[in-house]
Amino acid sequence: MGERLSRLHLRIDGEEVWAEAGWTVAALLERLGRSAARRSVLGERRAPLCGMGICFECRVTIDGERHRRGCQVLCREGMEVATDA
Amino acid sequence: MSAGEAGPLPDLLIVGGGIVGAAIAWEAVRAGLRVTVVESGPIGGGASAAGMGHLVVMDDSDAQFALTRYSLDCWMELRPLLPEDAEYDPCGTLWIAADEEEMGEVRRKQAYLVARGAAQAVEVLDPAQLREAEPALREGLAGALRVIDDAVVYTPCVVRWLLDEVVRLGGELRTGKVVELHPGGARLADGAWLSAGATVNAAGVWAPRLTPGIPVVPRKGHLAITDRYPGWVGHQLVELGYLKSAHGSTSDSVAFNVQPRRTGQLLIGSSRQFGVETPEVEGEMLGRMLRRAVEYMPGIGDLSVLRVWAGFRPATPDNLPLIGRWPAGEGEDGRAVWLATGHEGLGITTSLGTARLLVDQLLGRPCPIPVEPYWPTRSWHNGEGHG
């Protein structure tokens, strides 16, 4: 049950999901099998590459703020994440 | 003429493949002239690429108004032909007044434009209308003048399209560095000589190297571009303080100037510096420019900037371009070196009008607007100008 208590509840594109404390948003996307975080200016689906804040491919909207790097943001209780992928 | 040169001579040899040279080439080739454009670097790689691509009617002087207004008409005529990637966006300009003094300027500008037949194309916004139009602007602004016909383009793709059309219509585009320009042709750095019936110096800030003594100096500017924030800004936004304090002709200055791109990106400007010839981004000027933007749009500081850069505008003492025969470049046989440079920050707007005026003069056709104010032979005074 302790494991359950540490679960965080988030929404990704309106879907209710859970994460454990310490996971990044990009890690959560990966774990959920979502292969892409965003679309390029030409509409191509783009996915996290470096996982360390350099490539900017993991950009998502977090709590209404656009272009946050998912790999640099830890999941929080009640967080709203929006991808456009 | 070098031995072995093949094919007919071009009627017109244009130095410079920026928007001004490209527009002249397009105008000339459509008038039936044989045209060669010589560019030493990337197409549209100078001020054409460094600037914002704002198509704007300006009224610092009657001559500036005449050329920008006529050019806007040319742009609206060209628009249906342009490819999608030219990103023509008729977003209009909002000239923003911070206080009542600047509202006086809004009313003056409105009266000036209305008196010249633009009553349908301008609208004064009160503070509430301004906030409704652009909610990201700070509260407490006095109002704005909306100029409806003004627009935005992505200049590099316009230049590429113009030159593609020139080549499709039989013109020639060649890579080379011109080191000497004469009425009858040009010498390239590799020694080759290109003969022509007339030559045009449309080399922007580099023009004085080929036609020494012309009053064109580089005026440095910085820009920043953000990530995509669709809907954040709807018009090209320019502070009216741009006119009264920011852009005197001598000192360094910054002004709030934000442009929405079709992608949702925002271009943030602007800065002006004389006497700086190094192309590097300068932290202090960039900082001043961005702080000015935050003063007008507090939230803009939270947006993510992708890239910053600097470039040079070819400026003249009276803020009008040089369009016409170079007085020091008249050949005895009547051939001439022509000038089309010195457009400063208005070269994208006025490229199309410049092309028409230059080709009309070259062919002895009547010009659509009086051309004398832009002649390189005009008398010089130090204007307080902008653009």
Query: Could you report the per-residue pLDDT of B327-341, keeping only the tens digit for each?
Result: 988 877 878 999 999
Q: Note whether B245 and B278 are same-domain residues.
A: yes
Sorted by sequence, the CB contacts under 8 Å of residue B7 that are 6+ apart come out as none
| Closest C-alpha to B162, from B54, B78, B76, B41 | B78
pLDDT tens across B216-273, in order? 999 999 999 999 999 999 999 999 986 665 555 567 899 999 999 999 999 999 999 9
Domain edge (last residue) among B290, B315, B340: B315
**Which residue range(s) make up the domain with B36?**
1-89+150-215+316-387
Do B140 and B285 reside in the same domain of the chain? Answer: yes
The DSSP line for A6-45 is TEEEEEETTEEEEEETT-BHHHHHHHTT---SEE-TTS-E
Give the DSSP H/E element, type plus range, for residue B151: strand B151-152
pLDDT tens for B294-306 read 999 999 999 999 9
Q: What is the pLDDT of residues A19-68, one digit of tens each?
A: 999 999 999 999 999 889 999 988 999 999 999 999 999 999 999 999 99
- The residue from B256, B285, B315 where one domain ends is B315
Same domain, yes or no, for B20 and B73?
Answer: yes
| Positions of E strands within B162-204 | 172-175, 178-182, 185-188, 193-195, 198-201
- Residues of chain B with a CB closer than 8 angstroms to some CB in chain A: 227-229, 263, 302-304
State the count of interchain CB pairs (< 8 A) between A and B: 13
From B271, B287, B315, the end of a domain falls on B315
**Residue B162 and residue B299 share a domain:** no
| B350: amino acid identity, one letter | T
Looking up residue B62, the CATH number of its domain turns out to be 3.50.50.60
For residue range B52-109, list pLDDT tens digits in order: 999 999 999 999 999 999 999 999 999 999 999 999 999 999 999 999 999 999 999 9
* pLDDT confidence band for A76 (50 / 70 / 90): very high
- Amino acid symbol at B110: Q
Do B230 and B308 belong to one domain? yes
Please tell me which residue of chain B has the smallest CA distance to A42: B263
Q: Do A41 and B228 touch (CB under 8 A)?
A: yes
pLDDT (0 to 100) of residue B71: 98
pLDDT > 50? residue B387: no
Alpha carbons B66 and B374: distance in angstroms, whole number: 11
Tokens standing for residue B262 = 């079709």
Strand partners, B273: B220
For testing the chain A interface, which of B87, B304, B305 should be mutated: the one with the most A CBs within 10 Å?
B304
Same domain? For B286 and B204 the reply is: no
Write the CATH number for B125.
3.30.9.10
pTM: 0.90
Chain B's closest residue to A41, CA to CA, is: B263
pLDDT at B7 over 80: no
Chain B contact present for A46, CB below 8 A: no
Q: Looking at the structure, do residues B193 and B322 belong to the same domain, yes or no?
A: yes
Nearest CA in chain B to A43: B263
Closest CA to B247 of B301, B319, B308, B311: B319
pLDDT at residue B251, as a whole number:
79
Indicate which of A56, A66, A68, A72 best probes the interface with B, i.e. most B CBs within 10 Å of its own CB: A66
Same domain, B77 and B177: yes
Question: What is the arithmetic mean of pLDDT over B203-228?
Answer: 96
Q: Is the peptide bond before B270 cis (omega within 30 degrees of 0)?
A: yes
Which two tokens mark B326?
């170079």
Distance of CA A45 to the CA centre of its chain: 15
How many Cβ atoms from other residues are within 10 Å of residue B1's Cβ?
A: 10
How close A4 gets to chain B, by Cα (Å)? 36
| Cα distance between residue B319 and residue B119, in whole Å | 26
Reading the block at residue B355, the tokens are 């092309």
| Chain A interface test: which of B228, B229, B303 (most A C-beta within 10 Å) | B228
Total number of domains in chain B: 2
Return the structure tokens found at A63: 């709590």
pLDDT recorded at residue B118: 83
Question: Where residue A1 falls among pLDDT bands split at 50, 70, 90?
Answer: very low
Q: What is the DSSP letter of B9?
A: P
The first and second tokens of residue B339, run together, are 């000038």
